[in-house]
Amino acid sequence: MARKCMAAAALVLLCAASAQAARWSLETDEQGRSLLQEAKSPNCTRIDAHCSKCRNQRIPGTRRSELVCSTCDSGYRLRRDGISKTCDCAPGLAMDANKNCQPCSKGNFCLGGDATVNPTNAESTCPDGLETTFAGAKSQAQCFTKPGYGRTAAKGSDGKVSLAGVVCDIATYNVGSNTAGCQKCGAGLTTATNRSDSASDCQAPAGSYMDKGIGKLCQKGTYSTALNTNANCIPCPDGITTAAEGSTTAAACSLALKGYYIDSVNSTNAIKCPLDTYQDQEAAVTSCTPCDHAWKTKETGATGPALCLAPPGFELKDGATNITACAAGSYKADWNRNPCVECGTGLITKEAGSVSKDACLVPAGYGLTSLSPMVAAPCERNTYGDSVDRAAVANARCTACPADMFTMDTLETRTRNSNEYYTSEAACLVKPGWGTTATLPQECPVGTYNEGKNRLPCHHCGTGWTTVAAGKTAESQCVVQAGWKLAADNIPAPCDKGSYSTGGTEVAPNATCTPCATGYSTQEDESVSNEECAVCAPGFGGANCGQCTWGTFASGGAKVGDACAACASGSTSKKGATQSQQCYSTLIDARNDVFNLANEGAWADNAATTGTTCGAACDALDTCVMYKFVVNEAGQGSGKCSLLSEASTPSHTVGFKIGNGDDYSVWGLNQAVGAALDPMPAAAGSANTEALCKEACTSAAECEVYVFTGTTCTLTKSELEQDSISMFHVVGAKLYSDLHP
């Protein structure tokens, strides 16, 4: 009991009172024992069935005494009503129908019998909502709560404490069997009904959810419709939210989230704002707002006008209504509201709306002069760019021309024309008078030319042509080369031996070959100066290269001063003979032995008796035309020698054929010589000049002599005459070639 009292502090007072009562009862027992010894075994049950000790007691004012009970059985106590005739039940016991005290039944409490308060020794019931939890409860203090009830204690005006049970209100509970009041549910929780008897009856109300034993309001965008123990509220459909936290109905999901609008035909369906629109409020809107200025959004579901941007390649110009593509020459890479970025001075883009710096191009014929910032400029003097536009980021600079090549502005000593661009190496040209013949340009060597300002090799003047110096620029500067002349067909030809040419000059390009002075010649063809006329020409010789006289010859090439060579003894030549073949024997046989004369009387006898001396006699005589020698007697060595001399008044010209007509020995006679050919060639008949007559003889193999009268031509020959020989005389001065040079 003491332990129970200590557990329930509220009942201390009450317990103290009971303890006091028990101690006092015990003392009563001790006093009763001393009293018992005076009475001698009276039958106490006559007084009360449960009186265990009794005694006689004098009735005041009389001498009579009566039996009174002094001690009751265990579990009973003597009623203090001044009569001492009744044993009541002790606290915790109640009297049954047989007048026996039984332990107080569970649920009730028993104060014990009392003359005034409980004369019937009945059980007492606990207040509503309370009950005792064991049999034999002795006081109301032992009434504990029923489940779902709380216990309250109130001090009445008499100072007594009275207990009461109260139904646990909504949002409270009590498991029962205790002395406590109703326990509050966790913060934010409640119960479905009153009289809840378990903590588990505490749940989150509609609009809330449970988080570690605490009820919390559904966050915005969620709701719950009933008591629940869920750890989460039900989310609104995607894109939809509530006006506040703590929503209790699905219908509270009525506001489109930023970036959404609500389907006008299905309010539970939120749709992301289409591209280029936005929605910046949580509101029951059924459409999004188009971006200003035709700005665009990068994605659907834009949540505010700040997401309305100019896409790459576009900008909003100051004061413009709508965005426009970046102008050519500028670009913009990102989504933003910045202006387009200029590529840089001189740079271009292929079109408007470029989205990257990579789109910045260096125009054809331009080169980058600075990479950061990017600046391009036309390629100037002696540099070139490209024929196509190139990406500027690749650092497209102008390229220098190769060595000794120049651009037109340099070549023409002027500034570049505004519409003139150098777009490839082809713009690099050679100077006038230079050419690309070799790996590196070089000055055109002598004999070549190039007008320059091009990329050509030097042109060759052509065979027989040259230039007077290196570095010539035009074909008109080609002159005939030394040792050559411009021939009749306007094609240069080398100068023959015996002539020379100093070549053309730019003033007089057409050279001619100049013959060496008469009698002089050169060693070779293509001689280039008069100095090379240092040898005698064929047919010339001696100190001053005079013409070789009769009987001599020179084949040419002899040093000045060397005399002409003499023909062999017994032979002679025309003047200026050039070879030994032109030396003819001074006496030449008649082919058929004898040239007869028309007038045989013209022969003059000569004393010579041999053929040899006869011939020597004729040879010695400048006027001797021919001789005839007749052998009179065979073996005797003597014969008749006759000579024919020139006529003093010739009527005929007679030409003896030398060789096959190489020359003729010509004499003046007044008669024919030899026998006329039969038949006479037609050529002879038509020959009306000595030259024609001579040609007719040359043509006729049989002809040995032509006879020309000035009007008629006769061709004759020698005749057979066994015992005679006849030879004609060749004298240099009488050769046809000397007579008709």
Ligand X SMILES: *[C@@H]1O[C@H](CO)[C@@H](O)[C@H](O)[C@H]1NC(C)=O
Would you tell me which residues interact with ligand X (CB under 6 A)?
A: 43, 45-46, 167, 194, 237, 266, 268-269, 294, 321-322, 486, 490, 508, 510
Peptide bond into 679 cis (omega under 30): yes
Smallest separation (angstroms) from ligand X to the CB of 509: 6
CA angle (246, 249, 253) in 5-degree steps: 85
Which CB atom, from 510 or from 651, has the smaller least distance to ligand X? 510
- In 3D space, the residue among 486, 481, 485, 476 whose CA is nearest the CA of residue 506 turns out to be 476
Eight-state DSSP code of residue 294: G
In the bound complex, what is the minimum distance in angstroms from residue 321's beta carbon to ligand X? 4
User: 270: buried, middle or exposed (CB in 10 Å: 19+, 13-18, 0-12)?
Assistant: buried
Which of 490/711 has CB closer to ligand X? 490
Separation in Å, CA 41 to CA 31, 37, 38: 17, 9, 9
Distance CA 470, CA 468 (A): 7
Q: C-alpha distances in angstroms, 2 versus 5, 628, 642?
A: 5, 212, 216
Please report how close the Cβ of residue 238 comes to ligand X at its closest, in angstroms.
Answer: 8
In the block, which residue shows the tokens 């060639």? 681
Nearer to ligand X, 308 or 429 (CB): 308
Helices (H), 523-566: none
Tokens representing 174 are 């009590």
> Based on CB atoms, which residue is closest to ligand X, 510 or 699?
510
Least Å from the CB of residue 340 to ligand X: 18
| Count of helices and strands (H, E) across the chain | 7, 62
Q: How far is the CB of 24 from ligand X (least distance, A)?
A: 30
314: which residues sit within 8 A by CB, 6+ positions away?
296, 323, 324, 325, 326, 332, 340, 353
Q: CA nearest 255: which of 268, 265, 272, 246?
A: 268
- Closest separation in Å from C-beta 553 to ligand X: 39
**CA–CA gap between residue 419 and residue 31 (Å, rounded):** 147
Half-sphere exposure of 312 (CA within 13 A, CB side): 7
For the stretch 507-534, what's the b/e string if a residue is b when 16 or more beta carbons lie within 10 angstroms of its beta carbon? Answer: eebebebbbbeebbbbeebbbbeeebbe
Shortest separation between residue 28's beta carbon and ligand X, angstroms:
24
Nearer to ligand X, 43 or 116 (CB): 43
Pick 266 or 544: Cβ nearer ligand X: 266
Return the closest-CA partner of residue 259 out of 241, 271, 267. Answer: 271
SS (H, E, C) 434-459: EECCCCCCEECCCCEECCCCCCCCCE
CB nearer to ligand X: pick between 321 and 686? 321
Rg value, the chain, Cα: 85
Nearer to ligand X, 148 or 246 (CB): 148
In three-state secondary structure terms, 699 is: helix
Q: In this structure, what token pair is assigned to residue 473?
A: 């620029």
Query: CB atoms < 10 A from the CB of 313, how many?
Result: 21
Tell how strand 366-371 and strand 324-325 pair up: unpaired
DSSP-derived secondary structure letter, 9: G
- Nearest-angstrom CA–CA distance, 392 and 176: 90
Tell me the closest approach of the beta carbon of residue 324 to ligand X, in angstroms.
9
Q: In this structure, what token pair is assigned to residue 675?
A: 């026998």
Residue whose CB is less far from ligand X, 165 or 188: 165
CB nearer to ligand X: give 46 or 350. Answer: 46
**Where does residue 17 rank: exposed (0-12), middle (13-18), buried (19+ CB within 10 A)?**
exposed
Nearest residue (CB) to ligand X, 321 versus 544: 321
Question: To the nearest whole angstrom, how small is the minimum distance from the Cβ of residue 734 to ligand X?
Answer: 46
Nearer Cβ to ligand X (235/661): 235
Nearer to ligand X, 136 or 237 (CB): 237
Counting Cβ atoms within 10 Å, is residue 649 exposed (0-12), middle (13-18) or buried (19+)? exposed
With a CB cutoff of 8 Å and minimum separation 6, the contacts of 531 are: none
Nearer CB in complex with ligand X: 45/232? 45
Whole-number Å distance between alpha carbons of 45 and 73: 10
d(CA 21, CA 5): 15
**Cα–Cα dist 63/290, whole Å:** 124
238 vs 412, which CB is nearer to ligand X? 238
Of the two residues 45 and 229, which places its CB atom closer to ligand X in the complex?
45
Q: Judged by CB, which is closer to ligand X: 200, or 266? A: 266
Which residues fall within 8 angstroms of residue 658, CB to CB, at 6 or more apart? 584, 588, 664, 665, 730, 735
